[in-house]
């Protein structure tokens, strides 16, 4: 008889790695037009977007530190769970849309998108159903693929460096910088999902804040370096390319590989699977405020199918028109669900504790 030891918790490092991969994967599928054709100013926008993310994550880390657990059977918790489920579904739609849109436009244009989306969802659902520990372990493996893949792409793309591609910051003012900061924050942030994932981090995880912050800084550095390399290597050619990081990998070569987009594809698919799996895991947990695990799983599968259909409808021009307008919705949702609500939880807990103390 085989006994499976399933640990339902992850370490602080595993949590930080999941967040790191989920936050940085936007770099692979972000379009030049989403950044207003201004990748160079986006380097500073990335820095500020990640800094904002770090500031807003303070309430989350305090919730973890104070071991606050919401009573999921209460009505407010159920309402909040429903809100979070909606956001997670919305977030997955955005992630999958970026993924499918890039596959359709550049990477695998001949591919049937619905089959592609379904394939990704099967992997992600499997990961989500297997539990947080499997996700944590998978993330550790993906991290190695990510680091090796990114290093190969970064180093080999330097052969394209040209000094005439150098730029100055904010030549056209601060408009693009502000817009790009909101875009990058919306696409990279994983705060609402982190609120759920943090409930499954080992209670005695040491130095979680330090690990989380260092991985977040690492994420910001990776994205900034990629943007910087894109500008220095592609220059004005960037204006003709929708997906800058894909382009540098397609143009780079190491003998005997003439182009490195195959490495890019592996890293890109692995990272998006971790992000979507973690979001689906969060959906599954929130659903348990209403139904039992089995039913929650069935609903998650149904929701996934719905997401695939929505993405299929959006794919093509429709999504390209709608998606940019959803950035602001996403930005506000992240602020509310990732910072305001956790801060309120913290305050309510503090008030309750002080009242309890007085009594």
Contact residues: other proteins, CB under 8 A: 105-107, 109-112, 115, 118-119, 122, 160, 162-166, 168, 171, 234-237, 239-241, 250-251, 253, 258-259
- CB 134 to other proteins: min, Å: 17
Q: Which residue, 197 or 250, is less far from other proteins as judged by CB?
A: 250
Q: Which residue, 173 or 357, is less far from other proteins as judged by CB?
A: 173
Residue 201: φ, ψ to 5°: -85, 140
Neighbours of 205 (CB within 10 A): 20
- CB 99 to other proteins: min, Å: 16
Q: Which residue, 21 or 154, is less far from other proteins as judged by CB?
A: 154
Q: Which residue, 309 or 322, is less far from other proteins as judged by CB?
A: 309
Residue whose tokens read 């998978």: 138
| CA–CA dist 137, 278 (Å, integer) | 12
| Residue 9, C-beta contacts closer than 8 angstroms, at least 6 positions apart | 132, 133, 200, 201, 202, 203
Q: Which residue, 153 or 250, is less far from other proteins as judged by CB?
A: 250
- CB 300 to other proteins: min, Å: 15
Q: Which residue, 7 or 165, is less far from other proteins as judged by CB?
A: 165
- CB 259 to other proteins: min, Å: 6
Q: Which residue, 81 or 233, is less far from other proteins as judged by CB?
A: 233
- CB 315 to other proteins: min, Å: 15
Neighbours of 83 (CB within 10 A): 16
| Residue 1, C-beta contacts closer than 8 angstroms, at least 6 positions apart | none
- CB 186 to other proteins: min, Å: 27
- CB 327 to other proteins: min, Å: 25
- CB 79 to other proteins: min, Å: 34
Q: Which residue, 44 or 72, is less far from other proteins as judged by CB?
A: 44
Q: Which residue, 130 or 259, is less far from other proteins as judged by CB?
A: 259
| CA–CA dist 215, 23 (Å, integer) | 10
- CB 166 to other proteins: min, Å: 6
CB contact at 8 A, 238 and 230: yes
């Amino acid at each position: 008889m085989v006994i499976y030891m399933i640990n339902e918790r992850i370490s602080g490092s595993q949590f930080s790695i999941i967040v790191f991969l989920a936050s940085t994967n936007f770099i692979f599928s972000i379009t030049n037009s989403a950044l207003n054709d201004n990748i160079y100013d986006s380097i500073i926008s990335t820095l500020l977007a990640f800094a904002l993310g770090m500031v807003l994550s303070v309430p989350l880390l305090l919730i973890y530190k104070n071991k606050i657990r919401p009573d999921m059977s209460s009505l407010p918790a159920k309402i909040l769970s429903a809100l979070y489920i909606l956001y997670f579904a919305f977030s997955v739609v955005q992630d999958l849309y970026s993924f499918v849109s890039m596959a359709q436009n550049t990477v695998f244009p001949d591919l049937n998108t619905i089959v592609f989306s379904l394939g990704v969802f099967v992997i992600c659902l499997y990961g989500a159903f297997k539990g947080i520990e499997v996700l944590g372990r998978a993330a550790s493996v993906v991290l190695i693929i990510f680091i090796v893949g990114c290093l190969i792409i970064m180093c080999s793309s330097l052969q394209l460096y040209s000094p005439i591609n150098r730029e100055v910051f904010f030549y056209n003012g601060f408009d693009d910088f502000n817009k790009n900061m909101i875009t990058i924050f919306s696409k990279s942030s994983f705060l609402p999902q982190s609120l759920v994932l943090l409930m499954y981090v080992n209670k005695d995880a040491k130095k979680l804040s330090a690990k989380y912050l260092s991985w977040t800084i690492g994420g910001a550095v990776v994205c900034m370096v990629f943007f910087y390399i894109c500008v220095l290597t592609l220059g004005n050619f960037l204006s003709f390319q929708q997906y800058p990081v894909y382009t540098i990998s397609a143009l780079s070569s190491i003998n005997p590989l003439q182009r490195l987009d195959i490495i890019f594809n592996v890293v890109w698919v692995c990272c998006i699977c971790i992000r979507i799996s973690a979001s689906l895991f969060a959906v599954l947990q929130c659903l348990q405020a209403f139904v039992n695990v089995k039913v929650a799983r069935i609903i998650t599968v149904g929701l996934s199918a719905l997401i695939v259909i929505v993405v299929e409808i959006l794919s093509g021009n429709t999504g390209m028109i709608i998606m940019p307008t959803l950035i602001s919705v996403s930005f506000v949702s992240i602020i509310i669900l990732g910072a305001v609500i956790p801060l309120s939880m913290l305050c309510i807990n503090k008030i309750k504790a002080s009242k309890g103390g007085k009594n």
